[in-house]
Amino acid sequence: MKVTYPKLAELELRNKRVFVRVDFNVPLKLVGETYQVSDARRIEEALPTIRYVIEQGGKVILGSHLGRPKGQFNLKYSLEPVGSYLSSVLGKDVLLTEDCVGDAPRGLSHQMRAGDVMLLENLRFHPGEEENSYEFANKLAELCDVYVSDAFGTMHRAHASTDGLPRLTRNRAIGLLVEKELKYLAPLKENPKRPFLLLMGGSKVSDKIGVLEYFLPKVDTLVVGGAMAYSFLNAKGFKVGKSICEDKQVQLAKKIIRRADARNVRLVLPEDHVVSLAFGDTQNVSVTQGIDISDDKMGLDIGPKTIAKIEAALETAETIFWNGPMGVFEEPVFAKGTFEVAKLIAKTKAVKLVGGGDSAAAITKAGLDSFFDFISTGGGATLEYLEGKNLPGLKVLEIIERT
């Protein structure tokens, strides 16, 4: 049995209204009184599909969510800043509709000419989007002749625009971004070149446990940093002070440690930490001498010995997958671990892949994008894909070939 997906190149697009589900859920910053896009990776990565549809003479109708407006209009989550950015990079007008469904966008969709681009206002201003309501999907279906799924970062959600709408559209395909994500992530999932080093950080073991478990039979070295590491250290009997560490997470960590031992997977944990007295305290910062953290302190970044240990572990790897920051990297005093690790990975000869918004943002901030083989636009979607879960937005487009 072979699973494939319909490709964009197989669709007839000329003069067709082409709904492209994109993931324009990008961070915004307030500049003066207006919001601007502060990290455009997801928009940039959607451009090949948008340009392709334009070149083929299609009418591009873009649908996306932004943030969590919880089913109602909220100016803070308007796609207006995204429309402005898109218009400047495409060098053409991008019409932003006031609402994503109804008479107005439907009328506009019929007035569009080949090559025009229209951006629908935030899909999540309607509760039907997240509820995957048939009525809402039907209203979206009225806007288009063709459906293209290019929102990789949202494919783990069965929402109206990722699941209901493609079910209602006969002419449909994955876009060029989704094709690229699968091109890099599928071989990583199935058969990473060994030695394979998995580097996980961030805050919650429970979010990453699936990926850790999935890769245990395929991984040679597992490096754990970030807040997650304290559950592992606690599980091994070290003192973690006030660091983030919940009993449930410690139990999960114990399970991973047992399985890693049984499989001879090398587990690399922090040997020292950058600590302060509390989350948000950037005044009383110090570095521990060893692994234990005193009762009054909280670990907020990995220390220099740990960075050196990670450097040594990276040396022999042929494949590296990195997800999650090594500390509270949003705060400059706790960002060193994350940026150093990004630099160290960039220097290796391994195939280097990254998933998750925080790690990707750190790489971009350090100007290291070009050293990486692939930076996924997904966070949760990438992790769910890699742990072998079905992504609803992908599943709905599957073509099963019996071999």
145 binds ligand AMP (CB under 6 A): no
SS3 of 309-354: HHHHHHCCCCEEEEECCCCCCCCHHHCHHHHHHHHHHHHCCCEEEE
Q: Are 229 and 275 in contact (CB under 8 A)?
A: no
Task: Tell which one of 164, 192, 202, 241 touches ligand AMP (CB under 6 A).
Answer: 202
Cβ-based nearer residue to ligand AMP, 116 or 384: 384
Cβ-based nearer residue to ligand AMP, 204 or 305: 204
Among positive and negative, which fits the CA dihedral 294, 300, 302, 305? negative
Catalytic residue ranges: 42, 204, 357, 380
Q: Give the Cα separation of 119 and 134 in Å (integer).
A: 22
| CB of 358 vs ligand AMP, minimal distance in Å | 5
Amino acid symbol at 353: L
Q: Give the Cα separation of 270 and 226 in Å (integer).
A: 9
Residues between 203 and 242 that touch ligand AMP (CB under 6 A) = 203-204, 207, 226-227
Task: Tell which one of 81, 270, 327, 392 touches ligand AMP (CB under 6 A).
Answer: 327
Task: Tell which one of 45, 121, 145, 358 touches ligand AMP (CB under 6 A).
Answer: 358
Kindly list the distances between the CA atom of residue 81 and the CA atoms of 24, 27, 48, in Å, as whole numbers in the listed order.
Answer: 10, 10, 20
| CB of 123 vs ligand AMP, minimal distance in Å | 23
Count of beta carbons in the 10 Å neighbourhood of residue 42: 24
325 binds ligand AMP (CB under 6 A): yes
Q: Residue 163 carries which DSSP code? A: I
User: Would you call 19 helix, strand, or coil by DSSP?
Assistant: strand
255 binds ligand AMP (CB under 6 A): no
Stretch that binds ligand AMP, among 155-163, 188-196, 231-239, 319-327 (CB under 6 A): 319-327
Q: Give the Cα separation of 234 and 373 in Å (integer).
A: 34
| CB of 357 vs ligand AMP, minimal distance in Å | 8
192 binds ligand AMP (CB under 6 A): no
Q: Give the Cα separation of 399 and 214 in Å (integer).
A: 25
| CB of 360 vs ligand AMP, minimal distance in Å | 11
Cβ-proximal residue to ligand AMP, closest one: 202
| CB of 274 vs ligand AMP, minimal distance in Å | 9
Task: Tell which one of 252, 275, 293, 328 touches ligand AMP (CB under 6 A).
Answer: 328
Count of chain residues binding ligand AMP (CB under 6 A):
16
Among positive and negative, which fits the CA dihedral 233, 236, 238, 244? positive
**What is the residue whose two structure tokens read 């600590």?**
275
Stretch that binds ligand AMP, among 6-14, 15-23, 123-131, 196-204 (CB under 6 A): 196-204
| CB of 141 vs ligand AMP, minimal distance in Å | 34
Stretch that binds ligand AMP, among 40-48, 76-84, 144-152, 323-331 (CB under 6 A): 323-331
Stretch that binds ligand AMP, among 42-50, 54-62, 129-137, 320-328 (CB under 6 A): 320-328
Task: Tell which one of 324, 355, 378, 393 touches ligand AMP (CB under 6 A).
Answer: 324
Pairing of strands 351-355, 374-375: parallel
Cβ-based nearer residue to ligand AMP, 49 or 359: 359
Stretch that binds ligand AMP, among 123-131, 132-140, 165-173, 197-205 (CB under 6 A): 197-205
Q: Are 388 and 211 in contact (CB under 8 A)?
A: no
Q: Give the Cα separation of 303 and 136 in Å (integer).
A: 51
Pairing of strands 286-287, 273-276: antiparallel
| CB of 153 vs ligand AMP, minimal distance in Å | 14
300 binds ligand AMP (CB under 6 A): yes
One DSSP character per residue, 187-225 reads HHHH-PPSSEEEEE-SS-HHHHHHHHHHHTTT-SEEEE-
Q: Give the Cα separation of 32 and 8 in Å (integer).
A: 40
**288's tokens:** 């521990």
| CB of 244 vs ligand AMP, minimal distance in Å | 5
Stretch that binds ligand AMP, among 5-13, 285-293, 307-315, 327-335 (CB under 6 A): 327-335
Q: Which residues bind ligand AMP (CB under 6 A)?
A: 202-204, 207, 226-227, 244, 299-300, 324-325, 327-328, 330, 356, 358
